[in-house]
Amino acid sequence: MIQEPISTEETWLQGIPVSPGIALGKIKIQISGSKEPVAYEISPEEVDAELVRFHQALQTTADQIRTLRERMIQISGEKDASIFDAHILLLQDKVILQQVQTELLKRLQNVEHIFYVVMQNYMEVLRRVDDPYLRAKTADMEDVMQRVINNLRSTEPLEDEEEAEEAQVLVAYDLTPSDTAAMDASLIHGFATEIGSSVSHTAILARSMGIPAVVGLDQALLRVESHAPAILDGYKGVLILKPTQETVEYYNRLQVEKEKAYKALEALRDLPTITRDGRNIRLSVNVEFPHEYSGIKEVGAEGVGLFRTEFFLLGNPAGMPDEEEQTRYYKKLAEGCAPHGVIFRTLDSGGDKLPCERLCTPEPNPFLGWRGIRVSLSRPELFKQQLRAILRACADTPGCGIMFPMISGYTEVVTAKHILQECREELEKKNVPYARDLKVGIMIEVPSAAIMTDVLAREVDFFSVGTNDLTQYTIAVDRVNNRVANMFRPTHPAVVRIIGMTITAGERENVPTAICGEMAGDITLLPLLIGLGATSMSVGVHLVPIIRYAIRNLDYGQCRDMAQKALQAPNSRTIVDLSTALARKSYPALFE
Ligand code: PEP
Ligand code: MG
């Protein structure tokens, strides 16, 4: 392939905006994911040089891991840092090193490719074993392999993470949710990826962490230059390479203005989220990490409407936290949000979330596989640990709730409730205090559950619509595949009707419906959701001030009339136009 020369002039690359904000910094390229390194032939005389390169990369990797280990000890102690000892042992594994040498001599190909092939063979064997502990080791192997390959790829060793202090704009082919979760926001001021979508968990995490992000920047890696200055505009979805002084000044001014506007909205934090004609809407937040806790009170949210517990349960390299650790963790959040409650969603693993190796082997269709409540029901001991921890954690904080994800029908709901009841009885027997008023709800994100909401409403205290998965499963459009991203429309008439049906079925049984998918944070679609009858919105922390302002400027009566028309509309375009027109009329300032 002939690569275009990298331009010396200001260049604008257009992608999809997924996390608002502006980042100015130097480009940092991240080659990640297990993309197979390009293979090329070498001569027998080059073998020794390849081996030297390989051993240097192993050494650099070991040094980086030791630095990470030290940092982890400071943050959370020896126990969590032990994972890095295992990584260093892997780098010294004689069998792997010997095999790389043998294959190098035999195949006469570059060493990163040989190393990749050798590691893939080992991982494949591990993925097939029954023992979940051994299977989980593939994630470690993948991690170490990637570091070594990155170090082999760069002409200079990877920057020492401690030393790189200037603001960076990260550019990658793709980022996993765990790459994003591990990002140091004080260093990485924004990121751009070649692929991705706005409802992937990587994008959701970027918004939670307040990191501006743009995805879908086709061939960005071919056009960027490491360390070159850049601006990432997370509002418009643009990555500007080598900006002129004029552009830099414009963005500096814009950044100040945006911050000022945000602060003005924050000043409304103590005002109720009520429409102009008096309809109360509960405005709560979606949370993934503890560092978001402080923001919940700062923005004046009414507690947490969706706590995605999987990031805590699966994100810890040292293993799944036990019941005691979970209780402490959940309690801290519940107490921090009092007097408002927290809705704890039980483990929702699978799909594009964190690597599931700890629980299962990789699946051919992860979004249609062993996800959400399916995992919990087939691992009752794991499930009960989490249920007891939530019950105990909320003993002194009224108003909390528990929510089951990926419900597809009645039997799952009654089985999950039955197990919850067993947990209550176990705690009762042991005289352990627990929340007696814990509300029980379900996520409506699978069409089969939505169709059954009249029946399910008799079993639960609330519904929460996960519009990300509901859209994915209703229209059969993968939420993380950017090839079909233009078809991913939460305003598809079928999705809108399903949301309407759910709310109406709930109202008949006095079961309120919340919206917690990304649709709830879209100011153009807010009139539609309010008009359909949703009484609660759960959004990313940073969106709370904007959504509060928008709700306070809406008229429920007008929203309801508009939603009735939307329910009759034949296509998504008409629905978007109807809702956007009312949004623009109600809060024009948010569209300036
Ligand atoms: C959803 O599917 O809309 C949802 C809120 O859950 P998650 O994004 O975690 O799958
Ligand atoms: Mg979901």
Question: What is the rounded distance in angstroms from the CA atom of residue 42 to the CA atom of residue 211?
Answer: 42
Q: Is the CB of 445 under 6 A from ligand 1?
A: yes
Of 311, 314, 308, 265, nearest in space to 286 by CA: 308
Q: What is the DSSP string of 558-590?
A: HHHHHHHHHHH-SSHHHHHHHHHHHHHHH-GGG
Q: For residue 469, how far is its CA from the centre of ligand 2 (angstroms)?
A: 5
Q: Is 194 known as a binding-site position?
A: no
| Nearest-atom index, ligand 1, CA of 445 | 2
Distance from chain centroid for Cα 401:
22
Between 197 and 551, the more confident residue is 551
467 CA closest ligand 1 atom index: 3
Q: Which class for 348: exposed (0-12), middle (13-18), buried (19 or more C-beta within 10 A)?
A: buried
| pLDDT beyond 50 at 280 | yes
What is the amino acid identity at position 542? Answer: H
Ligand 1 center from residue 204 Cα (angstroms): 9
Establish whether 46 is an annotated binding residue.
no
pLDDT of residue 155: 42
Reply yes or no on whether the pLDDT at 517 is more than 80: yes
Pocket test residue of 18, 311, 445 for ligand 1, highest count of atoms within 8 A of CB: 445
Ligand 1 proximity of 348 Cβ (cutoff 6 Å): yes
β-pairing, 188-193 vs 213-215, is parallel
Could you read off the pLDDT of 566-580 as tens digits, one per residue? 999 999 999 999 999
Q: Residue 357: helix, strand or coil by DSSP?
A: coil
Q: Is 150 annotated as a binding residue?
A: no
Q: Which atom of ligand 1 is nearest to the CA of 199?
A: 8
Sheet holding 238-241, edge to edge: 11-14, 238-241, 229-233, 22-30, 168-172, 188-193, 213-215, 16-19
Would the CB of 464 count as within 6 Å of ligand 1?
no
55: Cβ contacts below 8 Å, ≥ 6 apart: none
pTM: 0.77
Clarify whether 201 is annotated catalytic. Answer: yes
Q: Separation of 161 CA from ligand 2 center, angstroms?
A: 34
Q: If you average pLDDT over residues 96-115, what whole number do you get?
A: 93
Q: What average pLDDT score do residues 49-66 get?
A: 90
Cβ(357) – ligand 1 distance below 6 Å: no
Q: Which of 112-121, 291-300, 462-471, 527-536 has the lowest mean pLDDT?
A: 291-300
Residue 157, pLDDT score? 39
Q: Specify the pLDDT at position 164.
A: 55
Give residue 143's identity as a one-letter amino acid code.
Answer: D
Q: Is the sign of the CA dihedral 15, 18, 20, 160 positive or negative? A: negative
Helix axes 94-107, 47-76, angle to 10 degrees: 150
Residue 118 parent element (H or E): helix 111-128
Q: Residue 343 pLDDT > 90, yes or no?
A: yes
* pLDDT given at position 355: 57
Does the beta carbon of 466 sit less than 6 angstroms from any atom of ligand 1? Answer: yes
Whether pLDDT at 382 is above 80? yes
Does the annotation flag 121 for ligand binding? Answer: no
CA of 517 to the centre of ligand 1 (A): 5
Average pLDDT, the chain: 89
Q: Which of 87, 516, 542, 559 is catalytic?
A: 516
Among residues 201, 340, 492, 542, the one annotated as catalytic is 201
Average pLDDT over residues 21-44: 82
Least confident of 47-61, 80-94, 450-464, 543-557: 80-94
What digits encode the pLDDT tens for the residues 298-328?
899 999 999 999 988 887 766 789 999 999 9
* Least confidently predicted of 60-74, 167-181, 479-493: 60-74
Q: What is the pLDDT of residues 132-187, one digit of tens each?
A: 667 667 777 887 888 888 888 764 434 444 445 689 999 998 887 777 877 888 89
The residue whose CA is least distant from atom 9 of ligand 1 is 308
Residue with tokens 């909205």: 265
Write down the pLDDT at residue 290.
Answer: 75
Question: How high is the pLDDT of residue 184?
Answer: 84
| CA–CA–CA angle 401, 402, 406 (5° rounding) | 140
Pocket test for ligand 1, best of 345, 468, 472, 536 (most atoms within 8 A of CB): 468
pLDDT of 224 above 60:
yes
